[in-house]
Amino acid sequence: MTLLLQRILDGLFNGSIYAALAVALAISHRATGRINLAQGEIGLVGAFVALALASPVGAFVAGSTLFAHLPGHPFSLRLATVVAVAVAAVFGAGLQAFVMRDFADLNPQRALNRSIALLICVSALSSGWWGGRARQFGELFPSSSRDYIGIFGARLRYTTIGAWVIVLLVCGIVHLFLTSTRTGLAFRALTAHRESAELSGIQPRRLMALGWAISGALAATAAALAASMSLIDTSLMFRTLIYGLAAVTLGGFDSLKGAVFGGIIVAQAQTLLPGYAGLPSEMSIVGALIVLILVLITRPWGLFGHRPVERV
């Protein structure tokens, strides 16, 4: 019983990563109506920027010499992560504004090519700068062996609490922005019906860039959390992206709440299934894939999404 509880609590940490990435995917999908395959890689660039900001020049992290002129470098990892999240937001907005301007208007095949091309480019950039060996990212939250809260004998670690506080805070801000500001309203109008929104005077370009900025920030948060759990290398977000995609598909692309719940469910499946089915933990990625396929086949609009109505 304690073991089950412990596994559930352990899975919660991964859940926060997948939830953040899933919300990022959902927001960028809302902005352009298309899936951004490079979402994870944009976040990864953010995490590497954080690493560069927090590493001394001697650590041979690309970019750390660039930031060395800033007063106070190397920064603390937390400050560096906050800055890097902002950098990833600007990066995402820039990509959308300059490279993916017509992403929403392309035909599906061309849009997919564009998305794949962006994935290859961003991934090649981060491999070129930070490729090679995996690196230590560091801890974002107190994580010594005593930093936990006991719940019926199981340990809820501070890292898990911290990660969830951050993710829920960011998601809450995004939710508030979408529901109670004028720009958020315009964004939702754009999502609901592009043409009508444009006809009523909404400028899609700015809003699309804004959507990609938000999702870039969320993806960088996810990447930093994922990196703090293990090592950071250039393939980190490929693995995470599959869980994120499974989560957002499960929750439904048009629902933030769904994306968060999807993240929790996928992460629980990831920890519980190998634990009880006797499979090695690496095989859990196959589990995520099966979830993705099953949801796409049986309920492509997800658990919380709205069933699309097609007019013939």
Q: Which residues bind other proteins (CB under 8 A)?
A: 34-35, 37, 99, 106, 108-114, 116-125, 127-128, 235, 238-239, 241-242, 245, 249, 279-280, 282-283, 285-286, 288-289, 292-293, 296-297, 300
Q: Which is nearer to other proteins, 199 or 297 (CB)?
A: 297
Q: Which pairs count as long-range contacts for 74-83, CB under 8 Å and 24+ apart, including other chains?
A: 77/50, 77/137, 77/138, 77/139, 77/140, 78/140, 79/53, 80/49, 80/50, 80/51, 80/53, 80/54, 81/47, 81/50, 81/54, 81/140, 81/224, 83/49, 83/50, 83/53
Task: In angstroms, give the least distance from the CB of 55 to other proteins.
Answer: 22
Min. distance of Cβ 121 from other proteins in angstroms? Answer: 3
Residue number, 91 or 164, with CB nearest to other proteins: 91
Nearer to other proteins, 162 or 244 (CB): 244
| Pick 53 or 242: Cβ nearer other proteins | 242
**Closest CB 29 distance from other proteins, rounded Å:** 11
Q: Which is nearer to other proteins, 66 or 283 (by Cβ)? A: 283
**Token pair recorded at residue 50:** 């954080």
DSSP-derived 3-state class of residue 58: helix
Cβ(9)–Cβ(155) below 8 Å: yes
CA gap 307, 12 in Å, rounded: 29
Measured in degrees and rounded to the nearest 5, phi and psi for residue 150 equal -80, 130
Tell the smallest beta-carbon distance from residue 213 to other proteins (Å).
Answer: 21
Q: Are 37 and 215 in contact (CB under 8 A)?
A: no
Note the maximum CA span of the chain: 63
Please name the amino acid found at residue 26.
A
- Minimal distance, residue 44 CB to other proteins, in Å: 13
- Report, in Å, the least distance between residue 37 CB and other proteins: 7
Q: Please report, for residues 38, 57, 128, 129, 195, the alpha-carbon distance to residue 210 in angstroms, rounded to integers and kept in the order given.
A: 16, 33, 28, 27, 19
Using CB atoms within 10 A of its CB, is residue 174 exposed (0-12), middle (13-18) or buried (19+)? buried
CB closer to other proteins, 194 vs 239: 239
Distance CA 255, CA 151 (A): 31
- Our CB check for other proteins shows the closer of 105 and 151 to be 105
Name which of 196 and 235 has its Cβ closer to other proteins: 235
CB of 165 to other proteins, least distance (A): 29
